[in-house]
Structure 1
């Protein structure tokens, strides 16, 4: 088996919902013009076409902002790399945590038409008709335990894909996953500074690099945990290794409260069977009603989500 694969995790570029909590009601929001330019900056600073020749697979959450970030940033790998798969693999388990409209994806048929109309090379084979149903009794529930389960399954899928690539002769597997700020903390089990920004410690288009904590050649680690490389941590000014899982659990509780203090959904206070009335009242007080499970998003080919004139775009 080849050396430990590199898993590059990327937070999407700025979407219109990032302009403020009043825009969390936007369904499956697109990237802002600044967000599109952030993708070009990310590529220019860290992911030149030459650097992308070593990438093996590009994956992303199926929301439009993550798919678009993956496309704009990693098009050289998709079109000219001798070893990279030519399509973006959409992973529904990598969608964002909350059930706000901005974090709820489009129906798969709408998404398929959307990608086809724009010639986006996206593999939707893993995306089912229920992927955007985020009720509390569904796999994609916004409750913390459900998020942890799909984060674990996402890691397992990445490990499986890495293993398949290695077995096919790729001796230096590198996989990219473009996903969301809140979800990234569940995926990495790294809760340091998770409330530094709104619901995350990751900047838009920030990327970090990971290995599997244990051997990826077998399934002995049922959680398939990831550990950030020291090179990645040094790149963002840190000199200490990732904290252990016990310490991360302590930080998790603090960060959940931090998200709630920001007026965001607190996944740890949601169960898979019911939502507490007090939590619903808190959400409504911030104008962030949970998304309708049967909502069908219309994404017309020429639809544009304009930037409100009164809002200043910030990174």
Structure 2
């Protein structure tokens, strides 16, 4: 066997209910907590988890802390923050919080922050996180490289290791290079707390210029389950069209970025 990467979309968050005006929202106390409880029940690989890697946004950290970390032995549920996994858009709900505030909220004992700058969340046009298709694609590729590096380390401890990655629904499409289910009105086909499992096409490749391609594996029957509601991506033409739709969504986020910039940002409790 080879190490597995389990990619998870975050649990229900305040912005899923009330829209994009809330800055860096956490998960909701009803739907979000229920999503995490369901994730704890259905996730079967806890004994093999070596790393939990998450977007530094609150909803992803909380999903990791409440949905996966409780399944692990004491001291193993530390969340490694990876800014490349953050949300695509630049709305208040798509914009994170300073590292110091994250640490204040969740505690240094729960967070691995060594490579995260204080202003990791900035999304201006001159930053790597701006809602621009080329930058989103580059960020997804960089995230895959970071995850692959961690997975190689995990494999030294356990050849069947699982690396858990918690990110956002839209970015998950870019991370996996699979845009099935996107439409002009729907920017993600990932459900809250949905788990999809992958392996790297070449785990040992250390070339910084390769794509670090992920290949989805049918664990457990996730591909078959989605056949009923996702448009098939069975030809190159369909794959190109699906990605073009994803690009249009990012371009729309880019046009909205100026509107969001400088606005007064609310925060949920």
TM-score range, shorter-chain basis? 0.7 to 0.9
Distance 2:235 2:61 in 1: 32
Q: Which runs of 5+ in 2 are unaligned?
A: none
Distance 2:237 2:76 in 1: 37
Once the two structures are superposed, the pairs formed by residues 143-292 of structure 1 within 5 Å of their partners are 143-167=132-156, 169-195=157-183, 198-212=186-200, 214-220=201-207, 222-231=210-219, 232-238=221-227, 243=234, 247-257=238-248, 266-268=249-251, 279-280=255-256, 289-292=259-262
Q: Secondary structure at the match of 1:236?
A: helix
Q: Structure 1 residues 53, 196: closer, same or farther in 2, change over 3 A?
A: farther
Picking from 132, 136, 145, the partner of 2:125 is 136
Picking from 1, 4, 15, the partner of 2:13 is 15
Asked whether the 8 Å contact 1:104–1:291 carries over to 2, the reply is no
Q: Which ranges of 4 or more aligned residues in structure 1 deviate by more than 6 Å?
A: 239-242
| 1:243 shift after superposition | 4.8
Distance 2:99 2:112 in 1: 12
Q: Which residue of 1 aligns with 2:20?
A: 24
Picking from 37, 40, 43, the partner of 1:43 is 40
Cα-Cα RMSD: 2.9
Q: Which residue of 1 aligns with 2:95?
A: 104
| 1:194 shift after superposition | 1.9
| 1:139 shift after superposition | 1.0
| 1:269 shift after superposition | 5.9
| 1:234 shift after superposition | 3.5
| 1:197 shift after superposition | 7.1
Deviations 1:49-91 (A, max 9, x none): xx411211111100110000011111234434xxx84411011
Q: Structure 1 residues 110, 237: closer, same or farther in 2, change over 3 A?
A: closer
Max Rg structure: 1
The two structures have a TM-score, normalised by structure 2, of 0.86
| 1:18 shift after superposition | 0.5
Q: Structure 1 residues 253, 134: closer, same or farther in 2, change over 3 A?
A: same
Asked whether the 8 Å contact 1:110–1:298 carries over to 2, the reply is no
Corresponding residue pairs, total: 264
Distance 2:162 2:210 in 1: 21
Distance 2:233 2:218 in 1: 9
Once the two structures are superposed, the pairs formed by residues 86-101 of structure 1 within 5 Å of their partners are 86-101=77-92
